[in-house]
Every structure is written in C-alpha cells, then in structure tokens.
C-alpha cells in the first residue's frame, strides 16, 4: 500500500465557541474515491473547507504528498493541486468556459492573451474527461448545472489537481447527468487523482467509493473500506442517536379537522404532479434531499413562483394564488429558509419587521397589531433591548421568532415553514416546535419543509418525501430515518407511485 | 468509454445585445430618414452625415471610457469636470504656440490620469461606492474650476484647431480618432489579462478573489482609462472651440449622457457584461436622434423627452431579456392532453 496523498490528523474547529469538528482524521489514497458521509451538521462541509483553505483549523495537521501544508487561501490549495468543487460554483456566468478555467492565469503570446490557445487547451482538457459537447467559447450562463459542474472539474484538472473534493456533486443533477459525472470520476481515478466525495445518496457511496469516513456531530464514527459496511450498518452509524425528547406531543387531544389546503395536479417548472392535503390542526412534514423541490413546493403554494397547472383549494373554496400578496390575503404564511435575505429587513427595527406584512397587505390593521405586537413577542420569549432595536443585532433564534411574529400577526390559516430551525440554538428550537404545535391545536394547517430528519419525524403527523420535483412517497408518522432516506434517494418506489 | 451519449441540451437562441443595438440603430435611421424626407430634406446628404459623425466623436470618447468603468461595476460622474479642466490646461499650456502642442496634450492627459487614479483608489482602497467617490472627486475639480476661471481661457494654435475642423470626405478626423481609440480599448479588453480581469471583477469580486486575482487593479486601471478618455474629449473640444472652457464639460451633460449611451449599448450597469461596439452603437443612436430632431425642427423640450423614452425603453427591453431564470425541470405551461 502506497503512502496516502492526503492525510489529515486530529482536525478540530469551533465557531463562536461551538465545536463543529472534533479530532477528526482522514486518509486519501491516490486513484481512489473516498466518501465523506454524515447527516446535516455532522461537520462534512467544515472539514472540506478547512482542507480547501477556506477556513483555518484550530488544531490538527494536514500532510499533502508527505509534506505538511497550511493553506490560508483557496488559491494556494488549488495551485498545490488540491481543488474543490463547491455546491455553489465559483464561475462567472457572463464569461466563456475557457475564460473561466484560465481566469487569473490566461496564457499569453507576445504579451496578449492567447484566446485561441486558451480555447484549444480547454477543449483538450475537456477531451481528457471524455467531454465533446461543451464548447470552450460558450458562455457559462448558457450551460446546464451539470455542464457547469464539469467546467469546475475541468478547472481543477487544469491546475493538475491530485486531490479533488466534491461537495454533494449530484444534489442538483438528473439521473443521466449523474451517470456522466460518475464516468468522469472514473477517468479521474484512472489518472491517479484522489477524490473526496461528500454525498447524501448512500447508493452512490456504495457504487462509487472505495473507502469511506462517517462523521456525526463533528466527530469521527468510522473509517474504512466501503466493502466492510452494509447499507443498514451505514445508516445506523450516521443516525445513531435517539430522537430527542424535545418535541411536543403529536396531535394528542386535538382532533384533525377538515382539509384546509388541498392541491391536486399542481405543477410549474420546478415541481410537478403535486397532490396533497393539509387538514386543520395537522403538521405535515416534507422531507427530501437538496434540490428535490421542497422549497420550490413551498414557493409554489405561496404564489412566489406560482403553480402553472393544477388546482388549489382553501377551506373548500378554489383559489388562484398568482402572487405572494394574493396568498397572504388568503391567509397563507411562508417562513422562508433564508431568514436574513428573505425573512427580515436586517437594518430595520424589531417593530418595523413585525409590522412588515401587516403594513403592506392589511394596512388598516396596523394600529391594532402595533398594540398587540409586544404581547406576541414576549409570549414567544423574544429577548431584545427595545422595539426599535435593529434585528441584525439579535441572535438567530430571536430573529426567527421575529419572523414568526410577523406572520402570526396576519392570523394565517395555513403556515408554510421552510427549514424553521436552521441555525438557531436548541432553546429557540424547542420554542419554535411548541409554537408550531400550539398553532396546529388552534386549527392552523402547517406544512414544514426540513432537512433535519429527527425534526421531520418528531414533529410531523404525516410525512411527504420529495424526489426529483415530485412527491415520491407519503409515510406514516414515526417512520424511521432509513425509510425516509430510502424514499428520498429514490431507492424504493414510493407508495404514491404504486397507488397511481 | 470513448463515446459519451449525452443529448445536447436545448439552448435558448439569444441574440447578442450588440446585434440588437445595431438593429435598433438601423430602425432609428430608417424612421429618421423618412421623417427628414417629409420636411423636404435629405437625411443622407454629406452635410447631415458629417453632422452625425461629428456629434458622435466627443460623446464616443467619453462613453468608451465610461464603458470600461461600468464593466468593473463602478461608475464615473467626474468626467464633465475632467473634460473642462483638461481643455483649459491644454489651451493655457499651448498659448497659441504650435511648439507647445505636445506639451499641452501631455499635461492635460497627465492631469486626467491623476484624477482617474484618485477615483480608482477611493473606490478600491477606501471602499467608497463609485457613484459617491467620483461625484466627490468631480466636485473637487469643479470647485477648482469655479474659483479659478470666470470664462474661457488660453488659446490653441490653428494647427491644433485643424484636428477638430477637417475630415476625409464626410468623415471628420475627430471621429476617426474616436473610432481608432475605441478599437484600441476593444482590443485591450479582449486581448490583455487586465482586460479580462475587468470583466471578471465586474462579474463577481468574490469569484475573482477566489481565483487569485488582485481585484483592485482592474478597477483602478479602468478609472484611469475612463479619465484619460475624458481628457481626450476635452482636448478635442478645445480644438473645436479654439480656447479652453470651464463649462464645456458640464454643459454637454457628458456624465449622464455617456452612462446612458453605455447602457443603451447593452452593457450591464452592474458590470461584467457589455461591449465597446455596443456603446458606439448607443452613441450613434443618440447622434442620429439629435440630427433628425434638429432637421425637422423638433420642439427642443420634446427632444429630451424622446431621448428619455429611448433610454428607458432600451433598458426595459434588456432587463426583460437578460433575466436568467432558474432552470426548470418541468414544462411551465399547462400540459395539453
């Protein structure tokens, strides 16, 4: 066995006192694919970013080709031969493929950029990956996501990368594109490139990866050859913890009422064939992988990216939700995934944010809500210095509570939550869970999109699993994480499709 | 493994925005020619063509420089004052003596380059938004102009006036100079690393930084180019007027007009996309409009209305086309069964 090309030992990293990576070690052999698996928040991305030079490690040692390295800028890692394909591509959409690949080191002839040489070099790099359908002179914006990813990989190749890290490379790809990516990875392996492959799709891990490392809550669980684990044992290692006890009791005494929100045959450019029903008093969880169309479903119901086909019924009455404004008037609320960009006006005060929707849509109620707002805020235990404090200075949990207050003020009938507890502390999480259950008990219909499987299982009265823009399966409350993952990765045919 | 059987994804046919600008120019010319014909004059007469080309030269110089700055995602509002002061510097240095021409040109352009450097440094090092940075630097120059000059000053020799006054056939020398410089700037953007990096920084500072670029350099360079082009415009105006003038730049409204021409030419105001030839097309559209409207003795107030409508309509069309939507997975329309 040859010496590993990349070896990380005892890696630790904390952000603001929260330890996200604890004493993790990893070895990568040339010409092999190593999977890095674990749930959201397990520390996979952090580890990758440390290796790529985006973050600096707090402790530990990295040996690259036998020599100790300490990258402080991604370009250093790139130049040394360690490239990373992030989920968010680092490409300029308005520039050509060749210009992107050679950005910052454009080949010159007699002092001028050798445009033709650059295009030829790009074409031959693409050729080495077996790609003949991407034009070196095409604008990157005109390429599909899969093609853009190939451009990123080609860029890595142009630096003579000996290690390429890929963060969830198949998350946004269609099935035939995944096959193409795998064939490219095969070629990279043959060239002796080592690949660190982060993926949620366990099927891929088994198909593609020679060795794997399992992380959980920032710590190493297991590392070794893929042949030594089975699908079930891998899932157990990834999940491996009792579902937390901080979820309020489901349904309990309240009975589920009539259907509040019904969608049949709903679809637009991003989701299709959506048939679902959320009844009064019910919390429906929507699970799925990144790119499965969960956020798009919420946006479609909310009218932000409206359905272009199918029918939507609210409390038995057909409605056409062609804009967010229309949806808000009909009593629908959407708590978005990205709090800072979509949920709050960060430089405005707590009270201004609280009144944002009311002022915009129900202006006549502003005065009343302004009187009620302090009460709602304090019942949610939002801690802030004053109503005029800018929300940017609140903690993530308190910010999320301000977002919730903003929507509660509209007295919604249907509440859509997209990743409601992302980036907030446990105390705030519990408060959000209790609030959700309380709303349900008052007869509100709740649809919750979440990537955290414990949250889906702990909160949902019914679980919908999305895959490829469609609802792939509907599962009973308390289904196992394994069952959800299986439906989300498309490894089992969903019950929906069987019924159809 | 050698044959990869992936179907080529359908690509939306997208007309290059420069092509659209020139289509618009042709439309404007055709409509203009018809209008001019109705008042019994010939749009394609040598005199009228000369007028249009002359009208293009000064604005063209300024707008080419402005394009480079806007490509980086910045902006230059100081151009009118640079134009005025460089005309004065040139005229006062030359003092009517042909032997001082080279010196006058050099001083004027050196001054312009310094202003551009100041703009670039304020934008990149002090991180002041380009709008405010160049407004501030422009006001400083304006203050100097207002306190030191009551009216036109200096004089340029006849040999220098020659540049602004002659032409080859109907084509003025000044327009040829403008087009030559536009070609140089075009090649600079296309063929040098700095040129490429101007587009890159305008497209995304973060991507550029992560690719190892020194992101300040292209922006500073662009500001220097823009100011030097404004300085050249000042020289050209001095050659036409025979003197230097403290108000020639601001009276021409070259700051906003040049930005309008750049945007009309299809360059994104946010940076990262655009072309010199688009800008030249935008400048030509303005020049044709002006010429047509004076030929048909259009109400001067309505002149600006027409310009305004053209700018707003053009940007509305570009925005509608340029929106990059998220890629869709399913058909967006009702599926017919």
**Contact A190/B at CB under 8 A:** no
- Helix intervals (H) in chain B: 17-38, 46-71, 79-94, 101-124, 130-148, 158-165, 173-191, 193-203, 205-210, 216-241, 248-252, 254-264, 276-295, 300-322
Q: Cα(A457)–Cα(A284) distance, rounded to whole angstroms?
A: 10
Q: Would the CB atoms of B330 and A93 count as touching at under 8 Å?
A: no
- Whether residue B292 has pLDDT greater than 70: yes
* A103 at B interface, C-beta within 8 A: yes
Mean pLDDT of chain B: 89
With cut-offs at 50, 70 and 90, classify the pLDDT of residue B15.
Answer: low
Which ipTM score applies to this complex?
0.83
- Please tell me which of the candidates B210, B329, B332 has its beta carbon nearest to residue A308: B332
Check residue A495 and give its pLDDT: 44
- pLDDT (average), residues A455-480: 90
Of A92, A104, A115, the CB nearest to B212: A104
Mean of pLDDT values over A71-78: 91
A175 and chain B: CB distance < 8 Å anywhere?
no
- Note whether A196 and A34 are within 8 A (CB): yes
Contact check, Cβ <8 Å, A268/B330: yes
B273 touches chain A (CB under 8 A): yes
Backbone φ/ψ region at B189: left (φ over 0), alpha (ψ -120 to 50), beta: alpha
**Average pLDDT value for residue range A461-475:** 92
Is B126 at the interface with chain A, CB within 8 A? no
Which of the pair, A390 or A255, is modelled with greater confidence? A390
Set of chain A residues whose Cβ sits within 8 Å of the Cβ of B268: 94
Tell me the β-bridge partners of B244: B153
Q: Which residues does A7 contact at the CB level (< 8 Å), separation at least 6? A: A25, A26, A27, A28, A62, A63
Of A13-17, B283-287, B304-308, the range with the lowest mean pLDDT is A13-17
- In A, which residues are within 8 Å of B193 by CB distance? 106, 108, 113
- Which tokens is A69 given? 């390295």
pLDDT for A487 beyond 90: no
Using an 8 Å CB-CB cutoff, list chain B residues near A271. Answer: 329-330
Residue B190 sits at the chain A interface (C-beta within 8 Å)? yes
Distance from CA of A143 to the nearest CA of B (A): 8
Cβ distance of A74 and B210 shorter than 8 Å: yes
Restricting to B residues 13-42, those with a Cβ less than 8 Å away from any Cβ of A are 14
- Give the closest-approach CA distance of B193 to chain A in angstroms: 6
pLDDT of residue A257: 81
**Partners of residue A75 in chain B, C-beta under 8 Å:** 210-212
Q: How confident is the model at residue B114, as a pLDDT?
A: 98
Q: Which of A219, A130, A205, A281 is nearest to B4 (CA)?
A: A130
The pLDDT mean for chain A works out to: 88
Mutate to test the interface with B, among A269, A297, A472 (most CBs of B within 10 A): A269
- Rounded to an integer, the average pLDDT of A210-217 is 90
**Which chain B residues are Cβ-neighbours of A151 within 8 angstroms?**
none
Give the confidence band of B322 by pLDDT, cuts at 50, 70, 90. low
- Nearest chain B residue to A134 by CA distance is B8
Share of chain B above pLDDT 70, in %: 91
Question: Touching check for B336 and chain A: CB below 8 Å?
Answer: no
How many Å apart are CA A351 and CA A355, to the nearest integer? 6
> What tens digit of pLDDT does each residue of B82-114 get?
999 999 999 999 999 999 999 999 999 999 999
Chain B within 8 Å of A293 (Cβ-Cβ)? yes
Distance from C-alpha of B192 to C-alpha of B178, rounded to nearest angstrom:
21
For residue B2, is pLDDT > 60?
A: no
Q: Rounded to a whole number, what is the largest CA-CA distance in chain A?
A: 81
* Interval A278-284 mean pLDDT: 93
| A269–B208 C-beta distance less than 8 A | no
Looking at residue B12, its pLDDT comes to: 45
CB contacts, 8 Å: B197 with chain A: 104
What average pLDDT score do residues A159-171 get? 90
Establish if A427 touches chain B: CB-CB under 8 angstroms: no
Do A133 and B4 lie within an 8 Å CB cutoff?
yes
- Chain A nearest-CA distance from B223, in A, is 20
Instruction: For residue range B212-228, list pLDDT tens digits in order.
Output: 899 999 999 999 999 99
Question: How does pLDDT run across B119-170, given as a tens digit for each residue?
Answer: 999 999 999 999 999 999 999 999 999 999 999 999 999 999 998 888 888 8
* C-alpha distance from B120 to closest chain A C-alpha (Å): 20
User: What is the 3-class SS of chain A, one letter each residue?
Assistant: CCCCCEEEEEEEEEECCEEEEEEEEEEECCCCEEEEECCCCCCHHHHHHHHHCCCCCCEEEEEECCEEECCCCHHHHHHHCEEEECCCCCCCCCCEHHHHHCCCCCCEECCEECHHHHHHHHHHHHHHCCCCCCCCCCEHHHCCHHHHHHHHHHHHHHCCCCEEEEECCCCCCCHHHHHHHHHHHHHHHHCCCEEEEECCCHHHHHHHCCEEEEEECCEEEEEEEHHHCCHHHHHHHHHCCCCCCCCCCCCCCCCCCCEEEEEEEEECCCCCCEEEEEECCCEEEEEECCCCCHHHHHHHHCCCCCCCEEEEEECCEEECCCCHHHHHHCCEEEECCCHHHHHCCCCCEHHHHHCHHHHHHCHHHHHHHHHHHHHHHHHCCCCCCCCCCEHHHCCHHHHHHHHHHHHHCCCCCEEEEECCCCCCCHHHHHHHHHHHHHHHHCCCEEEEECCCHHHHHHHCCEEEEEECCEEEEEECCCCCHHHHHHHHCCCCCCHHHHHC
**A420 has pLDDT over 60:** yes
Cβ within 8 Å, pair A468-B329: yes
Cα distances (Å, whole numbers) of residue A385 to A154, A372, A391, A394, A423: 52, 18, 10, 9, 22
Q: Please answer whether residues B203 and A93 qualify as being in contact, where contact means their C-beta atoms are separated by less than 8 angstroms.
A: yes
d(CA A175, CA A146): 11
pLDDT band for position B298 (cuts 50, 70, 90): confident
Record the pTM.
Answer: 0.80
Question: Considering CB atoms only, which of B6, B207, B268 is closest to A176?
Answer: B6
Determine the 3-state secondary structure of B262 from DSSP.
helix
For chain B, say whether A269 makes contact (Cβ under 8 Å). yes
The total number of residues shown for chain B amounts to 337
Query: How many residues are given for chain A?
Result: 500
Q: Please indicate if any CB of chain A lies within 8 Å of the CB of B10.
A: no
> Residue A494's pLDDT band (boundaries 50, 70, 90)?
very low
Tokens coding A169: 């490379």
Q: Is the pLDDT of residue B323 over 50?
A: no
Tokens 């579902």 belong to residue: A243
User: Which residues are CB-contacts of A88 (< 8 A; sequence separation ≥ 6)?
Assistant: none
Q: Does B335 touch chain A (CB under 8 A)?
A: yes
> Across the strands, what pairs with A276?
A263
Q: How far is B310 from chain A (nearest CA, A)?
A: 25
Give pLDDT tens digits for A219-268. 899 999 999 998 778 877 877 654 455 677 766 545 678 899 999 999 99
Coil, helix or strand for B225?
Answer: helix
Q: Does A30 have pLDDT greater than 60?
A: yes
Q: Is the pLDDT of residue A346 over 60?
A: yes
3-state secondary structure string, B284-298?
A: HHHHHHHHHHHHCCC
Residue B268 pLDDT greater than 70, yes or no? yes
Dihedral through CA A362, CA A365, CA A367, CA A368, nearest 10? -140
Which of A192, A172, A160, A180 is CA-nearest to residue A33? A192
pLDDT tens track for B16-67: 778 888 998 999 999 999 999 998 888 888 888 998 999 899 999 999 999 9
pLDDT of amino acid A240: 62
**For residue B4, what pLDDT is reported?**
40
pLDDT in the model for residue A477: 85
Per-residue pLDDT at A395:
82
pLDDT for residue A135:
94
In this structure, what token pair is assigned to residue B97?
A: 């003596």
């Amino acid at each position: 066995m040859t010496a590993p090309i990349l070896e990380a030992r005892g890696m630790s990293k904390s952000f603001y006192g929260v330890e996200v990576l604890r004493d993790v070690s990893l070895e990568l052999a040339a010409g092999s694919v190593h999977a890095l698996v674990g749930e959201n928040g397990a520390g996979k991305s952090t580890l990758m970013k440390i290796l790529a030079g985006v973050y600096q490690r707090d402790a530990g040692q990295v040996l690259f080709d036998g020599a100790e390295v300490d990258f402080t800028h991604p370009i250093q890692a790139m130049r040394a031969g360690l490239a990373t394909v992030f989920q968010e591509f680092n490409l300029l959409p308005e520039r050509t493929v060749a210009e992107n690949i050679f950005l910052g080191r454009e080949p010159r002839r007699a002092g001028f950029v050798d445009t033709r040489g650059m295009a030829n070099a790009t074409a031959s790099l693409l050729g080495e990956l077996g790609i003949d359908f991407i034009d070196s002179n095409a604008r990157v914006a005109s390429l599909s996501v899969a093609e853009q990813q190939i451009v990123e990989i080609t860029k890595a190749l142009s630096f003579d990368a000996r290690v390429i890290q890929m963060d969830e490379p198949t998350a946004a790809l269609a099935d035939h594109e995944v096959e193409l990516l795998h064939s490219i990875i095969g070629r990279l392996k043959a060239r002796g490139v080592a690949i660190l492959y982060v993926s949620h799709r366990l099927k891929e891990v088994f198909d593609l990866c020679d060795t794997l490392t399992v992380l959980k809550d920032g710590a190493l669980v297991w590392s070794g050859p893929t042949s030594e684990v089975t699908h079930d044992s891998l899932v157990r290692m990834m999940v491996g913890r009792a579902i937390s006890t901080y979820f309020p009791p489901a349904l309990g005494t309240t009975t589920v009422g009539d259907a509040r929100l019904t969608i049949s045959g709903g679809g637009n450019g991003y989701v299709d064939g959506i048939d679902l029903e959320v009844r009064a008093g019910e919390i429906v969880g929507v699970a799925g992988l990144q790119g499965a169309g969960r956020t798009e479903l919420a946006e479609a119901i909310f009218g932000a990216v409206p359905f272009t086909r199918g029918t939507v019924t609210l409390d038995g009455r057909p409605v056409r939700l062609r804009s967010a404004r229309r949806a808000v008037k009909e009593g629908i609320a959407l708590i978005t995934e990205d709090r800072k960009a979509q949920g709050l006006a960060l430089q405005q005060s707590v009270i201004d944010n609280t009144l944002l929707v009311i002022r915009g849509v129900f202006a006549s109620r502003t005065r009343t809500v302004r009187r009620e707002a302090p009460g709602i805020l304090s019942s949610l235990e939002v801690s802030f210095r004053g109503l005029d404090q800018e929300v940017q200075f609140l903690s993530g949990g308190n910010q999320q509570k301000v977002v919730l207050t903003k929507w509660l003020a509209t007295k919604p009938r249907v509440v859509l939550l997209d990743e409601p507890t992302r980036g907030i502390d446990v105390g705030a999480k519990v408060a959000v869970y209790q609030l959700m259950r309380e709303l349900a008990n008052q007869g509100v219909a709740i649809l919750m999109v979440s990537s955290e499987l414990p949250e889906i299982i702990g909160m949902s009265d019914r679980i919908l699993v999305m895959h490829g823009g469609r609802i792939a399966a509907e599962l009973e409350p308390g289904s196992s994480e394994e069952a959800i993952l299986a439906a989300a990765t498309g490894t089992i045919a969903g019950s929906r499709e069987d019924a159809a | 493994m050698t044959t990869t059987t992936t179907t080529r994804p359908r690509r939306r046919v997208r007309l290059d925005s420069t092509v659209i600008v020139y289509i618009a120019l042709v439309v404007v010319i055709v409509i203009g020619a018809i209008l001019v014909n109705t008042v019994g004059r010939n749009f394609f007469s040598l005199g009228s063509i000369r007028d249009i080309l002359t009208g293009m030269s000064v604005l063209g110089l300024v707008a080419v420089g402005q394009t480079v700055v806007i490509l980086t995602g910045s902006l230059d509002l100081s151009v009118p004052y640079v134009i005025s002061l460089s005309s004065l510097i040139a005229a006062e240095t030359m003092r009517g003596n042909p032997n001082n021409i080279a010196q006058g040109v050099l001083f004027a352009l050196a001054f312009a380059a310094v202003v551009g450097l100041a703009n670039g440094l304020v934008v990149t090092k002090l991180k002041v938004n380009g709008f405010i940075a160049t407004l501030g630097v422009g006001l400083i120059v304006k203050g100097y102009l207002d306190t030191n000059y009551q009216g036109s000053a200096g004089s340029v020799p006849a040999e220098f006036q020659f540049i602004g006054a002659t032409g080859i056939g109907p084509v003025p020398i000044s327009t040829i100079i403008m087009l030559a410089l536009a070609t140089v700037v075009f090649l600079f953007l296309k063929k040098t690393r700095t040129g490429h990096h101007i587009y890159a920084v305008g497209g995304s500072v973060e991507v550029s930084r992560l690719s190892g670029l020194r992101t300040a350099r292209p922006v500073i360079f662009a500001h220097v180019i823009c100011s030097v082009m404004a300085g050249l415009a000042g020289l050209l105006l001095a050659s036409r007027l025979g003197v230097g003038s403290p108000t020639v730049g601001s009276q021409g409204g070259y700051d906003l007009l040049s930005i309008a021409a750049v945007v009309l030419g299809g360059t994104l105001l946010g940076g990262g996309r655009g072309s010199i030839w688009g800008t030249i097309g935008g400048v030509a559209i303005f020049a044709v409009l002006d010429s047509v409207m004076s030929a048909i003795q259009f109400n001067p107030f309505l002149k600006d209305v027409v310009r305004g409508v053209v700018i707003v309509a053009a940007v509305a069309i570009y925005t509608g086309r340029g929106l990059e939507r998220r890629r869709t997975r399913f058909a967006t329309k009702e599926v017919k069964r």
